[in-house]
Amino acid sequence: MSDSLLLEIMLIGALGVGSQWLSWRYRLPAIVVMSVAGLLVGPTLGIMNPSEDFGDLYRPIVSVAVAIILFEGSLNLRLQDIRGLGRPVMRIVTVGAFLSWILGSLTAHYVGGLSWAVSFVIGGVFIVTGPTVILPLLRQSKLKPRPAKILKWEGIIVDPIGPLLAILALEVILVLTNDGHSLLSLFLFMLASLFAVILGWAFGRGIGWMFETGHVPEYLKSPLVFAAVIACFTIADEITHETGLLAVTAMGMTLANIRISSIQDMRHFKENISILLISTIFIMLTASLTRATLLQIFRPEIIGYVLLMLFIVRPLSIFLSTIRTDLSKSEKLLVGWIAPRGIVALTVSGYFASILYDEGYQDAALVTSITFALVFFTVVAHGFSISWLAGKLNLSAEGRPGTMIIGSNSFTVALAKILKEMNIPVIVSDSSWQRLSKARNAGVTFHHGEILSEQTDYRIDMTPYDYLISATEFDSYNALVATAFVPAFGRNNVFKLSIQRERGDHVEDLDPTIAGRVLFSENISLEGLCGKIDEGYVMRKTNITEQYTYPAYLDDRVHGTILLFVLRVSGNVEYYTDEIKLKAEPGDVVVSLTPPSKEVNKIKARLDQQHQEQNNQ
């Protein structure tokens, strides 16, 4: 049994991470790919059933994973992020959540055919979206900042609220049925929820104090937070079931807003763990479903319930809750459509279904089927439509991948100008207003400020930019900037210029794992590039065609030409480096820094042709 269980763990991890890679490679919604993979190895082929194979460990594993995922998401909830969005977000997570609960419960009763008790309990569960499904969608869709922040904040804040509403509904039902319950139990539930918030806040403040006063060494900080999340969740959950999610959300938000220096390292560590957990847990949940559950989702009342939740309940609750806010109609339409349900809905609904069934509500047997139907259909519908709808509503930042350039000088400004001419998003950032004068005079988008400042996140919309080039006169600073942005852009998309050996910082022995890749060539430094611009070198675009091939272009180029980047037919930009040898295809455009002699010859040839035409006349 141990060998087969070990094999199953290996298969779950491979399917989870493989699904994430396939979704990245072919630009598919990751949660859709994971759902299909889980259904194939579970109820379809019968290769595994994690809920049976893991036994008593199954539910604690899933619960702890959900707690870690929710904590990682709440680490991104900084109050500065909702500047200008405070009122819409608060209305959506309060009024919108309440309306969604009531409308969803009415739909479950009148359309889904469930009893009032079961309807109001699962109505609370189904208000959740959560980071397990929202964050992968936002990563895929590249929305503009406003709608992206609204969806992120709603997903993370409402995630613990949904189970709490379900528990509240359950407690009220048990009190009304006089089944051994009284108003005291309802009061104790409220008290336990308040305790969970206080517990999470205390954990967050305590960890922050320990980190800032040096009571924890650097190498123990991430493991300590990891253990503290599990402890915070378990303590609250043991007191009252499902309040643990509220506790870890409060803990994450506290850490995110007390401005401790180690928060960024923890955020990257937790994000990596969270992606792994989302991948594996989604596979486990879908693989644990039975064929009977899958067949039940095609019942007319369940399909009707799902359709009303998609097209009536969600849009109506968002539109009503955002009346008299500054959200545009386009933003309301997008937010009103996007509400995929995920891991929390699947796990929590199973818990309530078992309790309701034990209390004599026979229709609770349908809860698992209804939950999976809502999860699967919302995941598929929203996963495949978010990018398309955002584009139609002009809320998408999709387009040619842009470049952020750190350092304003003659070369970077010339590079920014040619990128702008080719309709490629570009911005030049520098902390010196004087150095930025070159970018300002050239009409290039610029940012004045320290790129490593925490405030940069609020002043620059990073969404349009896929590449970062650090090209200041200080080699050590270039390495620092590149290293800081590797987690955000990816190592392959972060570049620095070669070390300036004549007047640089003398950091030739810098660890090669630090910073990004060297742009263009090891033999081409910023000093050399700026010198060539001063000598009259120009940026030149060359179209590669079937007649004028890339090898022909390479043979024809003037000695001293520096190849900069290739603009692909698809709109992607690929920069030249020593590590990857690019090859342009017909339809691509090669941009190079060309010696002035060729441009002079071209101008001379054009003038000679014009002079000859005048003589012929």
Long-range pairs for 266-272: beta carbons < 8 A, 24 or more residues apart: 266/75, 266/221, 266/222, 266/225, 267/72, 267/75, 267/76, 268/487, 269/222, 270/68, 270/71, 270/72, 270/75, 270/222, 270/225, 271/72, 271/487
Per-residue pLDDT, 188:
81
Q: Report the C-alpha gap between 309 and 311 in whole angstroms.
A: 6
Does this model's pTM top 0.75? My answer is: no
Per-residue pLDDT, 313:
93
Per-residue pLDDT, 348:
74
Per-residue pLDDT, 1:
38
Per-residue pLDDT, 100:
92
DSSP state of 499: P
**Which residue type occupies 394?**
N
Closest CA to 286 of 159, 375, 155: 375
CATH superfamily of 402-608: NAD(P)-binding Rossmann-like Domain (3.40.50.720)
Per-residue pLDDT, 422:
87
Mean pLDDT per 10-residue section of the chain, whose length is 617 residues: 74 89 77 84 89 86 81 71 71 89 92 88 83 71 80 79 77 67 72 90 91 83 87 89 82 81 61 76 84 85 92 93 88 90 74 77 85 86 85 76 87 89 87 85 84 60 80 82 78 77 53 66 80 85 86 83 86 83 85 74 60 63
Would you tell me which CATH number, out of the four given (3.40.630.30, 3.30.830.10, 3.40.50.720, 1.20.1530.20), belongs to the domain 2-192+278-392?
A: 1.20.1530.20
Beta-sheet pairing, 517-518 with 494-496: parallel
Q: Report the C-alpha gap between 355 and 370 in whole angstroms.
A: 16
Per-residue pLDDT, 2:
42
Per-residue pLDDT, 206:
92
Per-residue pLDDT, 458:
47
Transcribe 40-58 into DSSP letters. Answer: IIIIIT-S--HHHHSGGGH
301 in Cβ contact with 357 (< 8 Å):
no
Per-residue pLDDT, 423:
86
Per-domain boundaries in the chain: 2-192+278-392, 402-608
